[in-house]
């Protein structure tokens, strides 16, 4: 298939792009290479597949309506996976405009491109953050997500609503995937695992918010990519059992679906840190901090509907996933150091 992947050199996007190319798909990648974190990491991810004969890279911002329109009209993708977004709960407190521009305006442009060029299925990244103030664990797609506690979460909830309207109005199949704390090799530097590893190696203390009492449903990158591909290959269909008098938020009388993508196995933050310390062979100095605005204390994904639909459940153990991250991280540091060192004459 010809698949358009937005955010194609982001953490999840690059891993998905490699997977699709490996199985024989053609990929049009879109990314704006912004400076939210060091763009060198994005360039390094891109170097893994930029020369692939089935890959075409477009450096553009999805908030640019004209550029997105031209990309859809030129390439006419059969499937679209929208992973481009301004990420980060905490950053949304500092720069809300970035979230409106990319996550709302940009997503609207993607929806328009899909409906105007007959795309067969749009899969898009939502987030576990949409569960917001909800304290009923595990988080189920049957639950209300009407109380976000960060603008980032609000934009992701908005994406789900916008997608439903296009599914209803234009019969566009859409599937939203609520990702739960994705981690692994080639991850984002603003996320805890990356920050903790860097601090431990530099003999600097790590900050544990909420006094380390968080639990998170960590999901390994390979499991996430497999889940995306499974969803992409099976376009959402109308739910024949859906009723307006007792509406199911997971589905619709339109071709619209929502799934959680998580490990269904929450891990205490302190156990996560211990696994990282063991993988690095170093103990972290810890600073205990109060909770931060926008953070939820715990996450736990109920993935029964995804397992039932696709016969797949993420299975990577946290110690295995963190060891893979550490192996990659140490290799990447060596590569970055070599690139920065003066050339020996």
Reading the block at residue 135, the tokens are 């304290």
Give the active site residue among 99, 152, 166, 272. Answer: 152
Q: Which domains does the chain have, with CATH numbers?
A: 2-184+219-264+300-315 (3.40.50.720)
Contact 25, 2 (CB under 8 A): yes
- In 60-146, the DSSP E strands lie at 79-82, 121-127
pLDDT band (50, 70, 90) for residue 61: very high
254-272 average pLDDT score:
95
Of 130, 160, 322, whose CA–CA distance to 250 is shortest? 160
pTM reported for the whole predicted model? 0.93
* CA nearest neighbour of 42 among 13, 78, 79, 77: 13
pLDDT for 95: 85
Other residues' Cβ atoms within 10 Å of the Cβ of residue 112: 16
pLDDT tens, 117-139? Answer: 999 999 999 999 999 988 899 99
Cβ contact 257:250 at 8 Å: yes
Rounded mean pLDDT, 179-192? 94
38 backbone dihedrals φ, ψ, rounded to 5°: -50, 115
Residue 219 has pLDDT above 70, yes or no: yes
User: What pLDDT digit, counting tens, does each position of 141-162 carry?
Assistant: 999 999 998 999 999 999 999 9
Distance CA 313, CA 224 (A): 10
And the tokens for 173? 């199949």
**Going edge to edge, which strands form the sheet with 2-6?**
55-59, 26-31, 2-6, 79-82, 121-127, 174-179, 256-261
Question: What mean pLDDT do residues 106-112 have?
Answer: 98
Q: What is the mean predicted confidence (pLDDT) over 104-123?
A: 98
Clarify whether 152 is annotated catalytic.
yes
């Amino acid at each position: 298939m010809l698949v358009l992947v937005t955010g194609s050199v982001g953490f999840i996007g690059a891993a998905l792009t490699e997977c699709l190319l490996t199985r024989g798909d053609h990929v049009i990648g879109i990314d704006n290479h912004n400076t939210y974190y060091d763009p060198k990491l994005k360039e390094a991810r891109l170097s893994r597949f930029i020369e692939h004969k089935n890959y075409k890279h477009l450096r553009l911002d999805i908030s640019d309506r004209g550029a997105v329109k031209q990309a859809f009209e030129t390439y006419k993708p059969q499937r679209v996976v929208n992973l481009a977004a301004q990420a980060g709960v905490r950053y949304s407190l500092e720069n809300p405009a970035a979230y409106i521009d990319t996550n709302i305006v940009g997503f609207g442009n993607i929806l328009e491109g899909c409906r105007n060029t007959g795309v067969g299925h749009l899969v898009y990244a939502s987030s576990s953050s949409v569960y917001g103030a909800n304290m009923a664990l595990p988080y189920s797609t049957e639950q209300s997500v009407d109380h976000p506690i960060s603008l980032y979460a609000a934009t992701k909830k908005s994406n789900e609503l916008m997608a439903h309207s296009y599914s209803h109005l234009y019969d566009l199949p859409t599937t939203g995937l609520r990702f739960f704390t994705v981690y692994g090799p080639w991850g984002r530097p603003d996320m805890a695992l990356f920050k903790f590893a860097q601090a431990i190696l530099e003999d600097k203390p790590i900050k544990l918010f909420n006094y380390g009492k968080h639990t998170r449903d960590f999901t390994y990158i390979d499991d996430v990519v497999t889940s995306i591909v499974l969803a992409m290959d099976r376009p959402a269909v109308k739910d024949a059992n859906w009723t307006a008098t007792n509406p199911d938020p997971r589905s619709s009388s339109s071709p619209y679906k929502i799934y959680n993508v998580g490990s269904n196995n929450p891990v205490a933050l302190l156990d996560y840190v211990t696994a990282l310390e063991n993988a690095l062979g170093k103990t972290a100095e810890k600073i205990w901090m109060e909770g931060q605005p926008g953070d939820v204390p715990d996450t736990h994904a109920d993935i029964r509907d995804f397992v039932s639909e696709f016969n797949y459940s993420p299975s990577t153990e946290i110690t295995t996933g963190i060891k893979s991250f550490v192996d990659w991280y140490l290799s990447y540091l060596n590569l970055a150091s070599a690139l920065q060192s003066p050339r020996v004459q």
